[in-house]
Structure 1
């Protein structure tokens, strides 16, 4: 609340400096009061959420919470623009201290004032659209992947991926059902969940019921690897919930989905005796680039221990950095999440520069692919040019 209030006050002061509204006190007081009410409202919603769920409430989200987010994020969006405009204004005023007759038509002063007027409107419009559409829009992406050495019984095999659902304040059980429907309707053979499933533990029973009720829609099962939020929230409670469903948990482990010839897969037969494995790594919390790389290598070694060299492998890893190890080991397909695709597309290059080499989408090296889902959900719904995503992958044998 303190931080949001400081941003609000600074943005309001900068806007008043540029625009010279003549109502500084009223502007500051009004903005500050609404900011404090918004921050307090979000805090109340978070604290009241468990009680709402336990009382039977099954809304998609709380409109008051969305409205508070729109208000608060608008100031964060406007502040960088206002800083630039205010600096330009200060320089201009310093060099034009003497009173001179105002020329006719558009002047620098009127242009700057016009720009100052546009910034808040643009910030609130972006915040409003980003939060409302970010919460509601789901893009089901479909990817056809061809491989020279794909076992024939996997030709046409479909794999669905959901990642980073973050069930909680702004991702409801109904959104989970919609996401499952999105991939199931594509006729996928199996579903992969690549971590960060749930943030509000009170939703565990509803998550369990939805997953259990829909498991039959994925003939070859549902697989899961851990993300960082499983550890942040309640590792034991989330694990217990998943163990009460048909979901297979993979923690630095793999399993033989088919020993070859399509055995063990529903409706799959072929003449290729090479096996098909699903593997899943744990989440690495190692600090420092060298330690992080070392632990990733250790985790992948554990995960693939016992997997035959000629197996076709699909590996799950919450953090997209594991794509490096997958490429090094020539794993055909690695599915990741974690980055949310940056959610706000304009900052994508900055997010990549600070450490996410694989931010979103498909990456390829030779016959190996790595895919970073941009998040089926989110803990904060604000998204601009980076919608929520459910992914479907169809494997094809290259002719």
Structure 2
């Protein structure tokens, strides 16, 4: 969270907190509207100020060697603000349904009472429970979302896989967003998770870091762990590299063994397993890692055209019979992977929506490939749910480190 986005986020969530308080008072009829709104306003302002203060002091904390996962006061404020976002649409629906019952005559309401619990009473009770449910969901979603990491394992079988790649393992990390709620300790844990699976190489598909004060720690961790991946670490750019400081992040990565690919390719093996650690075979076909840059083109046609341009640049000079793994931050590049018959395309960017119930909405808004594995014939595309986050709130969509094992299909 930086700049205008952070300011807008604070303003919008604070306003939503006030509106949520009004909606809840209307539904629950507390009789203490002024006190409720005053408490709501105070808590919302304290939460926003606490988050803003945490962001302001974070660089000095990082420079001092602080190894905390996050600031508890900032996390509490975030839980409060996001609870209001969760409760707002639910209370809006409850109030909309309860409004007609409030306009009915008193005599008809009394008759309903004699017959049992009225619908208005039921809605009032439901409204009273919503704030507690929203706080519980926000608390669990933020705390578990920050903590839980799922290491997913995928066995991929290919008829035309070069024999020397049979059993080859590739790890993927994506969208770490090192910053306020994703510490260097979490980066180390993610690297440990994929290294424990015995992967041959690691792919990082963009959005590595948000808080530039963490660049020294990121550099130290990557450099210290690089030899755990015998065939190296490859990296492609995401949109946040451009948003934060492209040159500073690039300079940091260039001080590590990481191989940066930008609309370019790397011949990992010229055939028979040459250039790969512990891989030998008789198949003379080559193995390439290619990567496309992030496209900022506006409009569907321009976006598709620029994606195609980037992929063609990345594939320039790659033999047609080569086995190719493509890296691209935006999941839309899976279309180009299928079009160019690329066996495996690894992407991120979507975070899997983080809040699973809104997944269909996110897909409808233009993310055709939201999370998980997609297949077209023998060609696959995978969207990592995000190893990190810039906000930790996750429900039924945990953080992810991915491992892919290539196997030759009989």
Q: What residue is the counterpart of 2:336 in the other structure?
A: 325
Q: What residue is the counterpart of 1:203 in the other structure?
A: 214
CA contact (8 A) 2:165 2:406 kept: yes
Which of 172, 188, 197 matches 1:177?
A: 188
Unpaired runs of 5+ residues, structure 2, are 1-9
Q: What residue is the counterpart of 2:64 in the other structure?
A: 55
What is the DSSP-based 3-state SS (H/G/I as helix, E as strand, rest coil) of the residue aligned with 1:6? helix
TM-score by length of 1: 0.99
Shifted more, 326-335 versus 52-61: the winner is 52-61
What is the DSSP-based 3-state SS (H/G/I as helix, E as strand, rest coil) of the residue aligned with 1:210? helix
2: CA distance, partners of 1:287 / 1:375: 24
Q: What residue is the counterpart of 1:92 in the other structure?
A: 101
1: CA distance, partners of 2:79 / 2:218: 28
Which of 184, 190, 194 matches 2:205?
A: 194
2: CA distance, partners of 1:112 / 1:329: 55
**1:80 and 2:80 matched:** no
Give, in angstroms, the shift of residue 110 of structure 1: 2.1
What is the DSSP-based 3-state SS (H/G/I as helix, E as strand, rest coil) of the residue aligned with 2:213? helix
Q: What residue is the counterpart of 1:34 in the other structure?
A: 43
2: CA distance, partners of 1:210 / 1:4: 35
Give, in angstroms, the shift of residue 129 of structure 1: 0.3
Q: What residue is the counterpart of 2:4 in the other structure?
A: none
Q: What residue is the counterpart of 1:383 in the other structure?
A: 394
Give, in angstroms, the shift of residue 58 of structure 1: 1.1
TM-score by length of 2: 0.96
CA RMSD, Structure 1 to Structure 2 (Å): 0.9
Cα distance per residue 1:295-340 (max 9 Å; x no partner): 0000000000000000000000000000001100110000000000
Inter-CA distance 308–100: structure 2 relative to 1 (3 Å threshold): closer
2: CA distance, partners of 1:275 / 1:53: 43
Which of 234, 238, 242 matches 2:253?
A: 242
What is the DSSP-based 3-state SS (H/G/I as helix, E as strand, rest coil) of the residue aligned with 2:114? coil
> Superposed, which structure 2 residues align to 1:262-281 within 5 Å?
262-281=273-292
1: CA distance, partners of 2:326 / 2:400: 19
CA contact (8 A) 2:178 2:184 kept: yes
Give, in angstroms, the shift of residue 3 of structure 1: 2.2
2: CA distance, partners of 1:125 / 1:113: 19
Q: What residue is the counterpart of 1:393 in the other structure?
A: 404
1: CA distance, partners of 2:18 / 2:274: 65
Shifted more, 110-119 versus 134-143: the winner is 110-119
2: CA distance, partners of 1:98 / 1:330: 72
Give, in angstroms, the shift of residue 248 of structure 1: 0.2
**1:9 and 2:9 matched:** no
2: CA distance, partners of 1:293 / 1:362: 21
Give, in angstroms, the shift of residue 99 of structure 1: 6.4
1: CA distance, partners of 2:318 / 2:109: 81
**1:66 and 2:75 matched:** yes
What is the DSSP-based 3-state SS (H/G/I as helix, E as strand, rest coil) of the residue aligned with 1:331? coil
Q: What residue is the counterpart of 1:220 in the other structure?
A: 231
Give, in angstroms, the shift of residue 14 of structure 1: 1.0
Cα distance per residue 1:184-207 (max 9 Å; x no partner): 000000000000000000100000
2: CA distance, partners of 1:393 / 1:55: 38
CA contact (8 A) 2:13 2:82 kept: no
CA contact (8 A) 2:272 2:282 kept: yes
Unpaired runs of 5+ residues, structure 1, are none
